[in-house]
Amino acid sequence: MIDQSVLEEVLGVALRTGGEFAEVYAEDRRSSSAGLDDGRVEELTSGRDRGAGIRVVVGDTTGFAHTADLSEPGLVAAATAAAAAARSGGGGTNVVALTRGRVERSYEIDIAPGDVPKARKVELLTRADEIARGVGDAITQVSASYGDTRKHILVANSDGVLVEDDIVRTFFAVSCVATGDTGMQTGRESIGHTVGFELFDMYDIDDLARRAAQRALTKLAARPAPSGQMPVVIGTGGGGVLFHEACGHGLEADLVAKGASVFRDRVGQRVASPGVTVVDDGTMAREWGHIAIDDEGNPAQRNVLIEDGILTDYMWDRLRARKEGRAPSGNGRRQSYQHLPMVRMTNTYLLAGTDDPDSIISSTPKGVYVKHLGGGQVNTATGDFVFGMTEAYMIEDGRITEPLREGNLIGNGPEVLGRIDALGDDFAMGPPGTCGKDGQGVPVGDGVPTLRVSSLTIGGTAA
């Protein structure tokens, strides 16, 4: 996207005008999307966004400017503005010599989404609509969405780093509404991976649509969720978002430094039950949160955050790692060239245990089985959270029985980690997600095996 000589000149300008550290992040993003609602294609779009963000750091102060002009004058103007925002003055001569790094990719894209006709993408939407409606007459509304992105990024900085990467992601989702005597109930299924259009060789769209419709139909016969504390069994894959939110954000080094994390100053201490190991891993090929490099040019890593219940480390971006005299962990991410990087998760998950999933259920006399969790809210400073249950069932006499209407899980992240008393051997990643933080969204993955929390508060409506 930008010649190496231009990058060296721009970084030199940033340092000459006051910077101690300077960085150029350039991005060329192409995307397409299609949406269907109530049997009609409502959206069919494609676009391209191209530009660069320039960051200049002086002490604890960061200056940032972004531009859609990738010419040398445009980049120099942005670098000058960013440096002025960090600190005026400076002078002298600063030379930056860049060494191009090699990015290791663990897989190749088989079918570039940009090469697939739009008509083929629309066919997927109409097929999903047809199959979902065929599951039952009570299905009254179906919506489906398709999306793909191809993002070429370049990172160069005053430490001599120069790396580029090309990232392709493809996504599909089906949502259904069922209407009956108890009102309207919803069901949703989604798939997404860091792959091309071969996603649809990996998954059966008919099966996806049937599962979304069946979930909505099942909930028509659901009874109100109970209220109060009881054991909760979380199903494989579907509950990973709980741990992403309830403990993952609290392990991001920027929140730790601000005193906004319940895990501050707890490295080396027990924060979870024995056997509980939490990992953030950007190297998981094809998963939604997979990256080869982060948005600061650092290689993706597999970072063990909690090992056998002991807090071992936090996630780090480049600047916080520099301040602490350690290496970054590959967790510096940003939404686009218009945003500053910050510490973010990639694929965050709990490792599998050794328990038989069926035995976890059968050894639970009474409780709630949560197959899928929805969105929630977390206070990272205290660990307190509230999450919606989008698909849940009663456990009675060691058996999964009646479905429950949507209710909430209410608890505290560190307390939940300490109350895990069973971990299944059936680990799976959950559906693709978008993690929001400080107004930025980035693609992330999460996963869990079947597990049991000995006591959690259910916020239902049953007496």
Residue for token digits 């419709």? 213
Give the confidence band of 98 by pLDDT, cuts at 50, 70, 90.
Answer: low
Torsion sign across C-alpha atoms 245, 283, 172, 220: negative
Residue for token digits 């971006």? 317
pLDDT at 108: 86
Which region among 89-103, 108-122, 313-327 has the lowest average model confidence (pLDDT)? 89-103
Task: Kindly report, as residue ranges, where domains of CATH 3.30.2290.10 are found in the chain.
Answer: 113-152+165-220
pLDDT at 90 over 50: no
Which region among 99-108, 152-161, 295-304 has the lowest average model confidence (pLDDT)? 99-108
R_g (Cα) of the chain, nearest Å: 24
- Comparing C-alpha atoms, which of 385, 409, 421, 420 is closest to residue 458? 409
Q: Are 450 and 426 in contact (CB under 8 A)?
A: yes
Structure tokens at 306: 């909690």
Give the confidence band of 89 by pLDDT, cuts at 50, 70, 90.
Answer: very low
Give the confidence band of 153 by pLDDT, cuts at 50, 70, 90.
Answer: very high
Structure-derived torsion over alpha carbons of residues 426, 429, 435, 441, reported in degrees to the nearest 10:
170
pLDDT at 1: 86
Dist. CA 385–CA 444, nearest whole Å:
19
Give the confidence band of 239 by pLDDT, cuts at 50, 70, 90.
Answer: confident
- Mean pLDDT, rounded, of the chain: 93
Torsion sign across C-alpha atoms 76, 78, 81, 83: negative
pLDDT at 91 over 50: no
Q: How far is CA 441 from CA 275, 281, 363, 438, in A?
A: 32, 18, 40, 9
Tell me the average pLDDT across 77-84.
90
pLDDT at 307: 98
pLDDT at 323 over 50: yes
The values of phi and psi at residue 194, to 5°, are -85, 70
CB proximity list for 119: less than 8 A, separation 6 or greater:
none
Q: Are 178 and 138 in contact (CB under 8 A)?
A: yes
Pairing label, strands 451-459, 408-412: antiparallel
DSSP codes, 371-434: EEEEEEEE-TTT-EEEEEEEEEEEEETTEEEEEE---EEEEEHHHHHHTEEEEBS--EE---EE
Dist. CA 54–CA 173, nearest whole Å:
35
Dist. CA 156–CA 152, nearest whole Å:
14
Query: How far apart, in Å, do the first and last CA atoms of the chain sit?
Result: 62
Pairing label, strands 161-180, 99-100: parallel
pLDDT at 414: 92
Tell me the average pLDDT across 267-286.
97
Cβ neighbours around 137 below 10 Å, total = 10
Give the confidence band of 21 by pLDDT, cuts at 50, 70, 90.
Answer: very high
pLDDT at 53 over 80: yes
Tell me the average pLDDT across 26-45.
94
pLDDT at 463 over 70: no
pLDDT at 261: 94
For 158-213, strand residue ranges (E) read: 161-180, 183-193
CB proximity list for 40: less than 8 A, separation 6 or greater:
none
Q: Residues of 387-416 as b/e, b for ≥16 C-beta within 10 angstroms?
A: bbbbbbbbbeeeebeebbbbbbbbbbbbeb
Dist. CA 304–CA 302, nearest whole Å:
7
Per-residue pLDDT reduced to its tens digit, 184-231: 999 999 999 999 999 999 999 999 999 999 999 999 989 999 999 999
pLDDT at 175: 97
For 38-133, strand residue ranges (E) read: 40-58, 61-67, 99-100
Dist. CA 26–CA 50, nearest whole Å:
8
Per-residue pLDDT reduced to its tens digit, 362-408: 999 999 999 999 878 889 889 899 999 999 999 999 999 999 987 89
97, amino acid identity:
A
Which run of H or E residues covers position 212? Answer: helix 205-220
pLDDT at 173: 98
- According to DSSP, the residues that pair with 66 across neighbouring strands are 53
pLDDT at 94: 44
Per-residue pLDDT reduced to its tens digit, 451-460: 999 999 999 8
What's domain 113-152+165-220's architecture? 2-Layer Sandwich (3.30)
Per-residue pLDDT reduced to its tens digit, 5-15: 999 999 999 99
Give the confidence band of 96 by pLDDT, cuts at 50, 70, 90.
Answer: low
Structure-derived torsion over alpha carbons of residues 170, 126, 213, 371, reported in degrees to the nearest 10:
0
Residue for token digits 């990087």? 341
pLDDT at 97: 66
pLDDT at 310: 98
Tell me the average pLDDT across 54-77.
92
Cβ neighbours around 181 below 10 Å, total = 7
323, amino acid identity:
K
